[in-house]
Amino acid sequence: MLGATLAATSAATATAAPAGLYAPSALVLTVSHPGQTADTAARAVTLSCAPGATGTHPAPAAACAELRAAGGQLDSLLSTTPGQACTRIWSPVTVTVDGVWQGTRTSWKHSFANACEMNNTVGQSSLLNF
């Protein structure tokens, strides 16, 4: 009898979560230049998308909306549309995104041959332009 009462209580508790709960979404985005002075980040911003869009990202609301529309798939934000012509100078730039997206740990990294290639590839992405 006690087991049935506990099971009923647990089931009620699981479905009656408070309305204010949300899956956490907090990210750190960095741009670095591998191989140059200690591989430290040249730029870094924070982005939190729940319960509201905040952080040091220059456009947190637009970045969170873009990430939601992409379903958290960061590769889909990379553009294949050609931009300005870039030189073939090898000066690598790496963009990373680490943290939690909608309650799930995430880590993403993409390297570009140089800053010009990075700017062409991230295109109009609100999230990746910081």
Q: For 20-63, how does the pLDDT look when each residue is reduced to its tens digit (9 = 90+)?
A: 577 889 999 999 988 765 567 888 999 999 888 999 999 999 99
**What's the pLDDT at 8?**
39
Over residues 99-109, the mean pLDDT reads 93
2-16, 36-50, 87-101, 114-128: least confidently modelled range: 2-16
- 129 part of a folded domain: no
Q: Residue 75: beta bridge partners?
A: none
- 7 part of a folded domain: no
Range of the domain at 56: 18-122
- 68 part of a folded domain: yes
- 83 part of a folded domain: yes
Residue 26, domain CATH: 3.30.350.10
Over residues 69-74, the mean pLDDT reads 92
Sequence-distant (≥ 6) Cβ neighbours of residue 31 within 8 angstroms: 41, 42, 43, 44, 93, 94, 95, 118, 130
- Given a cut of 70, is residue 18 above it in pLDDT? no
What is the number of structural domains in the chain? 1
Q: What is the mean pLDDT of the chain?
A: 81
**What's the pLDDT at 3?**
41
Which structure tokens are listed for 16? 């009656």
- Give backbone dihedrals phi and psi of 93, rounded to 5 degrees, phi first: -130, 130
- 67 part of a folded domain: yes
Residue with tokens 């012509």: 85
**CA distances from residue 127 to 5, 17, 26, 57, 122 in whole angstroms, order as listed:** 48, 31, 13, 8, 9
Using an 8 Å Cβ cutoff, are 60 and 53 in contact? yes
DSSP 8-state symbol, 51: S
> Is 94 or 34 the better-scoring residue by pLDDT?
94
- 3 part of a folded domain: no
- 61 part of a folded domain: yes
